Amino acid sequence: MWQIIDVNYNRAREGIRVVEEVARFILKDTALTQEIRRLRHSLQKILSSFPLYSFRNAETDIGKNFSSLSYAHLSELVKANFSRAEESLRVMEEFSRLEKPTLSRNLMDLRFLAYQLEKQLLSCLAKKDKLAKIGIYLIADERIAGKPYEEIVGKALEGGIRFLQFRDKSSNTRELWEKSFIVRELTQKYSAVLIINDRVDIALSINADGVHLGKEDLPVKEARKILGEEKIIGLTVRSRVEAIAGIEEGADYVSLGPVFPTTSKKDLPPPLGLGVLKKTRKKIAGVLVAIGGITLPFLPELKKAGVDGVAVISGILREGDIRKKAQEWVKAWEREEEA
């Protein structure tokens, strides 16, 4: 029995180490890294009083030469390593129950902790993948576009937009919910990320990927309580200081602007220019989006300023053929990314 426990202890520890490194170096998530480390240390602690190494015989272990799989995506690697840890915990739990029931119960608790951490880590990875699509971030507002929302959204998606905010300041709640539901269906067909402007309730109800908040909406912390960690929360900010505070509060991205003059939104402060973006980039590790009066020729400079994405309304929606414009913007951004 102790040889089985020794082999499975090593396997569990290795699996946990791998996922811990993903949380630490890829997600850079301090809280999650600490939770995973706590799992590893607890396992070490509950087995520390047993002299497992004296039962070890790696040379004659027939499992030594079993081949390893390779993974197409990081999430598969995470799943495989959590499974390795969870299965090993289960094996140790079953065998130790024969002689050491308390040890067995402790191992079971750790297995359930591993299931919970797996879910958290996978949803953080999924969110990171979604945020990586930000590039050209279209704000679909039918009033500003002067065209119906289905047409705007449909054409934008055909043109290659993969990160889209649905903004509608005039519909009542029921209308907004119905429209958002249709936008969700359209965006899903293209695996595009959908963010709902202002409304946490609508975002949750239609299973959007997240919400975009401003000063008049729910505070980020309150929205996070409702939405949980897996949804994206974006925040409008008007300065470097606000951007830093927004990320600290838990926003996944901040939209900083207006960078240039715009007529799409009333009562805006004076344009910030590119300098603030550069300074903010140096101060925040989170996702930084430029917004306000952005036109196609500014993309190279914005990219140089270090932004992760640009949020646009008029540049795509008020320039004629939406599909063609969207395509132009997406291609131009891709060129900048390759440069």
Rounded to whole angstroms, the Cα distance separating 105 from 96 reads 9
Instruction: Give least dist CB 339 to ligand TZP, A.
Output: 23
Helix axes 149-158, 173-189, angle to 10 degrees: 20
**By CB under 6 A, is residue 293 in contact with ligand TZP?**
yes
180 binds, among Mg ion, ligand TZP, none (CB under 5 to 8 A by kind): none
**By CB under 5 A, is residue 268 in contact with Mg ion?**
no
**Residue 40 or 155: which CB sits closer to ligand TZP?**
155
Do residues 184 and 165 lie in contact, with contact meaning Cβ atoms separated by under 8 Å? Answer: no
**Residue 120 or 197: which CB sits closer to ligand TZP?**
197
**Residue 15 or 257: which CB sits closer to ligand TZP?**
257
Instruction: Name the token pair of 132.
Output: 């990586």
**By CB under 6 A, is residue 326 in contact with ligand TZP?**
no
Q: Which residues contact 326 (CB under 8 A, 6 or more apart)?
A: 136, 138, 155, 156, 158, 159, 160, 161, 316
- Binding Mg ion (rule: CB under 5 A), the pick from 151, 158, 201, 217 is 217
- State the distance between the two ends of the chain, measured CA to CA, in whole angstroms: 59
- Binding ligand TZP (rule: CB under 6 A), the pick from 78, 227, 294, 299 is 294
**By CB under 6 A, is residue 309 in contact with ligand TZP?**
no
- Binding ligand TZP (rule: CB under 6 A), the pick from 194, 292, 309, 322 is 292
Instruction: Give least dist CB 265 to Mg ion, A.
Output: 10
Interacting stretch for Mg ion, rule CB under 5 A, among 115-123, 209-217, 299-307, 316-324? 209-217
DSSP 287-330: EEEEESS--GGGHHHHHHTT-SEEEESHHHHSSS-HHHHHHHHH
- Binding ligand TZP (rule: CB under 6 A), the pick from 12, 235, 313, 326 is 313
Instruction: Please name the residue ranges forming H helices in 132-239.
Output: 142-145, 149-158, 173-189, 200-205, 220-227
217 binds, among ligand TZP, Mg ion, none (CB under 5 to 8 A by kind): Mg ion
Q: Which residues contact 113 (CB under 8 A, 6 or more apart)?
A: 39, 42
- Binding Mg ion (rule: CB under 5 A), the pick from 118, 142, 198, 252 is 198
Nearest position to Mg ion, beta carbon: 214
Rounded to whole angstroms, the Cα distance separating 20 from 200 reads 32
Q: Which residues contact 180 (CB under 8 A, 6 or more apart)?
A: 166, 196, 202, 203, 205, 206, 208
**Residue 106 or 236: which CB sits closer to ligand TZP?**
236
**By CB under 6 A, is residue 264 in contact with ligand TZP?**
yes
Of residues 50-79, those binding ligand TZP (CB under 6 A): none
Instruction: Give least dist CB 294 to ligand TZP, A.
Output: 5
**By CB under 6 A, is residue 265 in contact with ligand TZP?**
yes
Per DSSP bridges, beta strands 287-291 and 163-166 are unpaired
327 binds, among ligand TZP, Mg ion, none (CB under 5 to 8 A by kind): none
Rounded to whole angstroms, the Cα distance separating 95 from 107 reads 11
Do residues 5 and 47 lie in contact, with contact meaning Cβ atoms separated by under 8 Å? Answer: yes
**By CB under 6 A, is residue 224 in contact with ligand TZP?**
no
Binding site residues, ligand TZP, CB under 6 A: 236, 257-258, 262, 264-265, 291-294, 312-315
